[in-house]
Amino acid sequence: MAKTKNNPLAGFYRAPKMYVSIPTGGKYYDDDVVEWPDTNELPIFPMTAKDEMIMKNPDALLNGEAVAQVITSCVPSVKQPRKMISNDIDTLLIAIQGATYGDEVKVTANCPKCEHENTGEASVEGCLDGMVAVTDDYSFTTSAGLAITVRPFLYESTIKAGLANFKTTRSLQALQEVADELEQLKAFNENFMTIAGLNFDLIVDSVNSISGTSEDGEDFIVTDSANIREFLENCEASVGTAIEKSIADINDLGINKEYNLQCEECEEVYQTTIAFDPVNFSTAS
Q: Which residues bind Zn ion (CB under 5 A)?
A: 111, 113-114, 116, 263, 265-266, 268
Shortest distance (Å) from residue 209 CB to Zn ion: 49
CB 253 within 8 A of CB 133: yes
Distances (CA, A) of 98 to 11, 79, 95, 138: 23, 21, 5, 31
Shortest distance (Å) from residue 187 CB to Zn ion: 42
| Comparison of 117 and 129: residue with beta carbon closer to Zn ion | 117
| Comparison of 113 and 186: residue with beta carbon closer to Zn ion | 113
Shortest distance (Å) from residue 275 CB to Zn ion: 20
Shortest distance (Å) from residue 267 CB to Zn ion: 7
Burial of 229 (0-12, 13-18, 19+ CB in 10 A): middle
| Comparison of 210 and 263: residue with beta carbon closer to Zn ion | 263
The DSSP code for 86 is H
Query: Closest Cα partner for 13 from 25, 27, 1, 29?
Result: 1
Report the length, in residues, of the chain: 285
| Comparison of 55 and 263: residue with beta carbon closer to Zn ion | 263
| Comparison of 50 and 113: residue with beta carbon closer to Zn ion | 113
Count Cα neighbours of 84 within 13 Å in the Cβ-side half-sphere: 30
Distance, CA of 100 to CA of 94 (rounded, Å): 10
| Comparison of 117 and 233: residue with beta carbon closer to Zn ion | 117
Residue 258: beta bridge partners?
A: 273
CB 93 within 8 A of CB 278: yes
Shortest distance (Å) from residue 111 CB to Zn ion: 3
Shortest distance (Å) from residue 118 CB to Zn ion: 7
Distance, CA of 45 to CA of 99 (rounded, Å): 6
